[in-house]
Amino acid sequence: MIDVEPLIISGLDRLVPLPSGERANWQDVLASAGVKSRPRVTRNRLVFVVAALAAAGAIVAATPVGAALGHGFATFSTWLNGAPGKPSSQAEQRAFDRATRSWTGFPQGTKLRRLVQTNTGGATFTLYGFRGAGSLCLRLVVTGNVSARTLACPPLSALRGSQQPALVVGADYGVGTTRQTSNGPFAFAAPKFMVTFGVVADGVQRVELTRRDGTTAHSVVNGDTFLAVDSSASPITHAWATAGSRRVPLSLTVAPVPFGFPQTTGPQLTAHGPATVQRPVHGGAIRWLARREPRGTAVPPTVHHIVGVLSDVIFHREITPDRSAPERMVVSVRPAGSAYFGGRLRNKLQVCAEVVGGRLAGGGGCWPAGRLFSTAPFSLGVLIQPGGQTVTIAGLASDDVAKLTLYLATGRSVRVPLHDNGYLTSAVKADYPLRLVAYDSEGRVIGVKTLQVDDRRGPGGPLPVANAHWRSVVKTTRGEAFVAASTTGGTCYAIRVDTVTSGPTCQPPPAATELQIGYGWNRSNAEVTGRAGSAVAHVLVKLRNGRTLTLEPIKGYILGALPLPSSSTPNLNPVRSITAIAADGRTLTPPTVSLTGGSGTIIRLTRTSIRIGSPRAAHTCRFTQESPSLSGYAPGLHVQYICRNGVLSLIGRSRPNKSATWAYRTIWAKGPITRLNASTITVHNTLAPAGSPDAFTTCARTKTSPRTDRYHLTDRVQVFCSHGNLTGINHDSP
């Protein structure tokens, strides 16, 4: 391991910008709270929930009909101003009334409509709908040999401004599970049914859905909606709406295959609205929160399972971002401890904001109190509603913000409800890219954030090909190594020791004297895995307990079990050193590594290289299979980066700010992954002094963070952790 931290710091301290920390640290996904699980319905808790509640309500009021759609289709007048489908049964209506009774401000007596129903495979799939608080809501209920219920609520503005004759509200929503299947070292549990549903404009006769394997899924169109239930494992990739001889493609975000990424098909749009600020705002505050003023109401005792009601909370209040909607937001202040930058921030508090109650997918996030508005006068959190087509956008705005406007790619704009510094709205991915703009009291733009579609990726590192076939190349009593083709024509490998799989990793083969090795441990498993160069005959692993393990590469692969950690020190790294030994007993020296790094603006980005810096001083790095993905990167974006032997090794988004110091902006960590879940990644940082508080670096995974699908426990990685959030990650070699 080469310690080059001083080199990187010296370059980045001068130029590296304030990293992008604009999005909330959304927490671990919890189970959705369904009506059926409660004998008595209280306020629904929607914290940390990606899926919306199973019940919702509507305000059935006259709404202006949107403009006529393109392509000669009629409008969504039935949804905007009428009564789609037919009335639900009395039992269904009573259950709906009970579910919405506790929704503060929600009009009682709202009618639930039954839209479409189909039966397949011993299960009944029913789609219900209702309107309210600026949204249309579709509720899917599944009964029979499998059961499920979910809710997605896109905004009515998506229909008013749509140029498409149908809106996909949910795609490939999984219901039930089939038996678990395996592909090499990986096991998958496929859903028994995949459900796609949405709404259609008046006059649409048919919605066609095409799978990735080229086959077609059939949908039922009724009640101004469509519903398709499929048992195929191949995901839906394209959708079309048909009326007579007119056939129009629909926007659709496609679910990813294993080790793949979501993709958006259909019409591609461009961002609208102001792109730059007219008055820069630095810092910002929420004065009522700083003064502990009792805004809003006290947090009800029925609210549970959120950070804002933990025993260490110093102050909390429940506010109403949109006074015409039933959703609420709990804003709290609590100790931060060492959660951010090892506790080195002077302000030791954190501010949390969490959505509770109502119809929309809820969530929450926490930020360092002193850095809440470090990159913009508002924080931004995005959660994806069930079915992957609708997003919920929520956060806090500083006192400088008088108005927030969401600009849609269709050219329309939506005034975002803002009250007591909290805001909450929703949008559909068909309207991406979105631009959220903050204005001051004089109407000047003071903050801009643009949300891009998921699949805008540039050159990047390789991944296993879609639906890759993994074949065994080494099998011993200790474990097994598997290989599969990569997306760049190379080879990826993964190693299973006992029940733990490391990888997949798609690095190029190691040099003759090189080790590509990683190790990991928890309370029940500990292993060392990787690859060795052709000159390596033995690998010596010196353990902290004084023992030394000798491992011999088998066809170039390393597979070994480590002793379990002590119960008294379960987080202590069990390995002191790893050394490559040649056949004649010589200690092999790894190939010389030349590292360069710094920060600057992307000047040029091609399929083979990236140039970063300024017109007078710039650095070019090549792309290889070792390079990270450049999803969302483009010329003009300010970044921080590291290049290894002239090859891009690590990159992260940032913002220019020469006044801040490196240590308080970004942590660079290298080492094995010791924890990886839906909200955080922890790396045993070999760059930190032994026993220091930074020995284990934890980064929050946010909406702006790079994807971690191809990383697993024990993988050796290098990361950028900016303002506590993961901004860069790539595989690393010792």
Q: DSSP for 14-57, please give it.
A: HHPPBP---B-----------GGG-SS--SPP-TT-SSPPS---
Average pLDDT along the chain, 734 residues, taken 10 residues at a time: 28 28 25 28 27 30 38 71 86 84 71 92 93 85 92 88 88 83 78 93 91 87 93 86 87 72 70 90 90 94 84 94 89 82 73 85 78 86 87 93 94 93 92 93 93 54 77 91 86 87 82 84 80 93 88 92 76 79 89 72 86 80 76 80 82 61 59 81 77 72 76 80 78 62
Residue 447 is predicted with a pLDDT of 92
Beta bridge partners of 209: 217, 239
Rounded distance between C-alpha atoms, residue 612 and residue 601, angstroms: 5
Which residues belong to CATH 2.60.40.10 in the chain? 287-451
Q: How far is CA 568 from the centre of its chain?
A: 35
Domain 287-451: what homologous superfamily?
Immunoglobulins (2.60.40.10)
Give SS3 for 503: strand
| Tokens standing for residue 657 | 């700010």
- Which helix (H) or strand (E) segment holds residue 139: the answer is strand 135-144
Rounded distance between C-alpha atoms, residue 297 and residue 318, angstroms: 5
Residue 257 is predicted with a pLDDT of 62
At position 381, the amino acid (one-letter code) is: G
Beta bridge partners of 419: 422
Neighbours of 292 (CB within 10 A): 11
CA angle 581, 582, 584 (to 5 degrees): 120
At position 640, the amino acid (one-letter code) is: Q
At a CB cut-off of 8 Å and minimum separation 6, what does 282 contact?
Answer: none
C-beta of residue 562 within 8 angstroms of C-beta of residue 526 = yes
Q: pTM above 0.75? A: no
Rounded distance between C-alpha atoms, residue 694 and residue 516, angstroms: 24
